[in-house]
């Protein structure tokens, strides 16, 4: 009799254990189902933000580089993103979509290091680089030329348009590598192109920057990505 009681108790404990497991699995499934619905709801609502009807136009194919200054009539309009950064209003929705989908669908967190820079800040950055090169023994003209490889002259910087974004997180090599690999494969789907590829330095005149992306709109970004062009090459082809 004692053995039968022990056996019954053992069976009861086992049943209770399995019921607890089933309950945990059910609650977990319910939780993740709700979380997934919340994510999808959040994603579907991204494009319901401000920039539905734009009352201004920007030439998204505009070339700004060492030879081409920002047009005087460029209509700069900015929006805050990530609290203390500013970007051109026209790219705001696509940027939010990209950041959200990268995180929810692929587990990649995109961090903005630098976006819009006013002309005076760009000038300060450029001048500081020039001074550093002069301290290393370069003449002023040589220091300027060396600086241009890394930093655009004020008035010639894409950052001053609000259309350029540097994606990086200081001191986090692993995270940056993951971020840049994701952007290289996916950014064009949201209207961004890698502006300074590794094998096109002779064309862009800027060293390789895996973090620097420029918004050109989804249609043009796909065309540039598929044809493996830089923005300079795209403009040269369109001249012909």
pLDDT of residue 84: 85
179 vs 110: CA distance, rounded Å? 6
**Catalytic site residues?**
209
3-state class of 147 per DSSP? helix
In sequence order, the β-bridge partners of residue 112 are 167
Token reading at 223: 């065309």
pLDDT along the chain (240 residues), means of 10: 57 64 63 55 53 69 95 93 90 93 94 95 94 95 92 95 95 93 97 96 94 96 97 90
pLDDT of residue 82: 81
Token reading at 77: 């309009």
Residue 144 φ/ψ, nearest 5 degrees? -65, -45
207 vs 165: CA distance, rounded Å? 16
């Amino acid at each position: 009799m004692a053995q039968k009681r022990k056996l019954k108790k053992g069976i009861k404990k086992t049943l209770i254990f399995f019921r607890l497991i089933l309950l945990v699995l059910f609650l977990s499934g319910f939780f993740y189902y709700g979380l997934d619905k919340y994510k999808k709801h959040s994603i579907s609502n991204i494009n319901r933000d401000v920039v539905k009807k734009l009352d201004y136009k920007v030439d998204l194919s505009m070339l700004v580089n060492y030879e081409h200054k920002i047009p005087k009539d460029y209509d700069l309009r900015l929006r805050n993103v990530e609290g203390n950064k500013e970007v051109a209003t026209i790219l705001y929705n696509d940027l939010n979509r990209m950041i959200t989908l990268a995180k929810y669908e692929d587990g990649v967190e995109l961090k903005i290091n630098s976006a819009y820079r006013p002309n005076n800040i760009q000038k300060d950055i450029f001048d500081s680089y020039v001074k550093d090169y002069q301290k290393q023994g370069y003449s002023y003209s040589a220091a300027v030329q060396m600086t241009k490889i890394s930093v655009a002259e004020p008035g010639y910087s894409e950052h001053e348009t609000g259309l350029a974004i540097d994606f990086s997180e200081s001191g986090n090599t692993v995270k940056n590598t993951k971020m840049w690999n994701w952007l290289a494969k996916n950014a064009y789907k949201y209207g961004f192109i890698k502006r300074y590829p590794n094998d096109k330095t002779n064309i862009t005149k800027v060293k390789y920057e895996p973090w620097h992306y420029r918004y050109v709109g989804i249609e043009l970004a796909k065309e540039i990505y598929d044809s493996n062009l830089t923005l300079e090459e795209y403009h040269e082809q369109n001249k012909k």
